[in-house]
Structure 1
Amino acid sequence: MTSKNRDIRLELITLLGVTTTVVIAAFAIYRWLHGNFLALAVDGVIAAAIFSVVVYARNSGNSARAGNLLCLLNSSACLLAVWLIGPIAITWLYLVLLTNFFLADRRLALGAGLVMLVVLCLLPGVFPDVFHAVSTLVTAALTALFSYIFATRSQDDRVELQELASLDALTNVPNRRMMERALTHALEQQTLGRGRYGLIVLDLDHFKEVNDLYGHAAGDEAIADLASILRFEMRKDDQVYRFGGEEFVVLLKVSSRDELESATERLRKAVRASLRGPGGRITISLGGALLGHERDWHDWFSRADAALYRAKSNGRDSYVIAEDLF
Structure 2
Amino acid sequence: MSAFWSRLKDDFQLSIITLVGSLAVLGVTPYAVYRLGQRNWLVGFTDSFLVVGTVLAVCYAWRTGNTVRPGQFLAAIYSIGAFLVSIKLGTNGLFWMYVLILFNFFVVPPRQSVMVTQVTLLAVCLYGWLNPQEVFASHYQMGSFIVTYELSSIFAFVFAYRGRAQRRELSQLATEDPLTGIGNRRTMNKELDIAVADSRRYDIRFGLLVLDLDHFKQINDQFGHAVGDDVLVRFVNLVDAACRPSDRLFRLGGEEFVLLVPNVAREGLNGVATKIQQCVREVLRRPDGRAVTVSIGGCMLNGHTERESWLHEADACLYAAKDAGRDQIVIAAP
TM range (shorter): 0.7 to 0.9
Kept in 1, the 8 Å contact 2:295–2:321? The answer is yes
Q: 1:209 to 1:129 in 2, by over 3 A?
A: closer
Aligned to 1:230: 239
- The 1:225/1:42 distance shift into structure 2, 3 A limit, reads closer
**Distance in 1 of aligned mates of 2:232 and 2:53:** 55
Counterparts of 1:166-315 in structure 2, within 5 Å, are 166-193=175-202, 195-208=204-217, 210=219, 219-277=228-286, 280-315=290-325
Aligned residues: 321
Q: CA deviation at 1:96?
A: 0.5
Superposed CA deviations along residues 72-121 of structure 1, whole A, max 9, x for unmatched, are: 12112212222332321101102202320220133432332232123212
How far 1:173 moved relative to its partner? 2.6
Distance 1:42 1:222, change over 3 A: closer
Note the alpha carbon deviations across 1:28-70, whole angstroms, 9 max, x for none.
45447x7446354543332232223222222322111111111
Cross-structure match for 2:122 = 118
Give the Cα separation in 2 of the matches to 1:20 and 1:173: 40
Give 1:250's aligned amino acid. L
The equivalent position to 1:131 in structure 2, one of 140, 164, 171, is 140
Instruction: Please tell me whether the aligned partners of residues 254 and 260 of structure 1 are also in contact (alpha carbons under 8 angstroms).
Output: no
User: Is 2:160 the counterpart of 1:151?
Assistant: yes
Structure 1: state its 5+ residue gaps: none
Question: 312-321 or 105-114: which moved more?
Answer: 105-114
Moved more, 260-269 or 221-230: 221-230
What is the match of residue 110 of structure 2?
Answer: 106
Ranked by relative contact order (alpha carbons within 8 Å, sequence separation 6 or more), the top structure is 1
TM-score, normalised to structure 2, is 0.84
Distance 1:271 1:60, change over 3 A: same
Q: Which moved more, 1:114-123 or 1:222-231?
A: 222-231
Q: Judge which range, 21-30 or 308-317, deviates more.
A: 21-30
Q: SS of the counterpart of 1:320?
A: strand
Q: In percent, how many aligned pairs have the same letter?
A: 34
Aligned AA for 1:10? L
**Alignment partner of 1:162 out of 159, 171, 174:** 171
Check if 1:63 corresponds to 2:67. yes
- What one-letter code is carried by the residue in structure 2 that aligns with 1:70? L
User: 2:81 maps to which residue?
Assistant: 77
Q: Write the distance in 2 (CA, Å) between the matches of 1:62 and 1:194.
A: 27
Q: Which moved more, 1:273-282 or 1:238-247?
A: 273-282
Checking the alignment, whether the CA contact within 8 Å between 1:24 and 1:47 is kept in structure 2 is yes
Shift of 1:203: 0.8
